[in-house]
Structure 1
Amino acid sequence: MSQNDPAAPQGTTAAQQAVQRKNSKVRDYVTMGVFIALYIVLFMFCGMIMAAVPIIMVLLPVIFGLFGGLIFTVLLGKVQRPGSFLITGLVLGLCLITMAPGGSMCYMTILGGIIGELIHSRLGRRSFRSMTLAYSAFIACYSIGEYIPFVWMKQAYLDQYADNAALEVARVGTNLLNPLTMALFCVLGVAAAVIGCYWGRALTRKQFKRAGIV
């Protein structure tokens, strides 16, 4: 093939673009993994201090709403690929499978990941409104899954932790929560999620502008 053949540079350019796209995809998913790991670390940190401060268990949706919203917004400002909500829901949900009777925390967290992923996909991955609604839905499902055992499975919850150091945490939750307070804390969790998303956007406004997110 001669050097003047126009197909040569075009073929080279296409190959380079393919490599660049592949490298970009790998970088994006590595970034996604790092931020999802940060989200799991936040959960583990809360779990570590829960024994000393049992009320943390009841406030988890608010904590995850605020600080998790910050983490997710920064992530979604960097990476607009599918999977952030779904993968987080699956990983976190599986971590929670034995933490409540009937696995409600696990199943509702996974459901939240699915719903969040659908919202983020349908409303647009470059939309801040889409991010906020998706994360709020994720937190709403997680909140419901956490509070259901405290409200409607109280004795089963206490029996599960009867010989465990977390019994006091279970007692605080079952004493504090009823349908009305459950609804209140769910609303607080969603409100915290919205605030967390706006907090994340405020900290990364330039990043959002570069990514074309509105």
Structure 2
Amino acid sequence: MSQTEPDTAQGRTAPQERARYKNSAVRDYVTMGVFIALYIVLFMLCGMVMAAVPIIMVLLPVIFGLFGGLVFTVLLGKVQRPGSFLITGLILGLCLITMAPGGSMCYMTILGGVVAELIYSRLGRRSFRAMTVAYSAFIACYAIGEYIPFVWMKQAYLDQYADNAALEVARAGTELLNPLTMAVFCVLGVVAAVIGCHWGRALTRKQFKRAGIV
């Protein structure tokens, strides 16, 4: 009798543990979805402002580096499951597929999501350093994809928006950017990403401690 009771208890707890793990996974992926949606909303808001302030287009990697870094750090402090960078890169990249000649913004954003996910997995999902390096790589790829058309595909970019209200935005980018300024803005985007990640950790320090992130 004494031998069967532990076995029975173990039989009861195993399904409960599986159910608890499943519920935790669902909750984590719902949280991930909410934060990724916030990230996409940030992009949409910037897009709405660009018509009035064309320079916003050039500053997008810096804006995303800073405020996106905040969003991602809070997310990764809550959820350490794989997929945050990859899913964001895929969704945002597909949203950008028609935004530049040749789809450079789309492909580089998706590549950034893949690279960031690999870095985050390799360096450890409970490491703040891994979060920061991964997000910085994501922003660097996104910035390169955005700036390539402005620097090396200028006429194609202007032709694409010739009959569009966004022509002035495209023209402002082609006039401002060259290989040197492109490099400068890419570096600024990475610096902003690092600052954004530290900002996020400062706002959620207790959450990081509970998650065991160092």
Q: TM-score, normalised by structure 2?
A: 0.98
Is 1:6–2:6 an aligned residue pair?
Answer: yes
In 2, Cα distance between equivalents of 1:5 and 1:21: 24
Q: Output aligned runs, 1:163-202, within 5 Å.
A: 163-202=163-202
Partner deviation per Cα, 1:35-92 (whole Å, 9 max, x = no partner): 0000000000000111000000000000000000000000000000000000000000
In 1, Cα distance between equivalents of 2:108 and 2:20: 38
SS of the equivalent of 1:49 reads helix
Q: Output aligned runs, 1:8-157, within 5 Å.
A: 8-157=8-157
Shift of 1:9: 1.1
In 1, Cα distance between equivalents of 2:122 and 2:73: 17
Partner deviation per Cα, 1:72-125 (whole Å, 9 max, x = no partner): 000000000000000000000000000000000000000000000000000000
Shift of 1:5: 2.6
In 1, Cα distance between equivalents of 2:2 and 2:169: 76
SS of the equivalent of 1:5 reads helix
In 2, Cα distance between equivalents of 1:26 and 1:2: 37
In 1, Cα distance between equivalents of 2:59 and 2:85: 21
Q: Show structure 2 runs of 5+ residues with no match.
A: none
SS of the equivalent of 2:126 reads coil
Number of equivalent positions: 214
Shift of 1:6: 2.1
SS of the equivalent of 2:122 reads helix
Q: Which amino acid aligns with 2:27?
A: R
Q: TM-score, normalised by structure 1?
A: 0.98
SS of the equivalent of 2:183 reads helix
In 2, Cα distance between equivalents of 1:83 and 1:6: 38
Match of 1:203 in 2: 203
RMSD after superposition: 1.3
In 1, Cα distance between equivalents of 2:3 and 2:87: 48
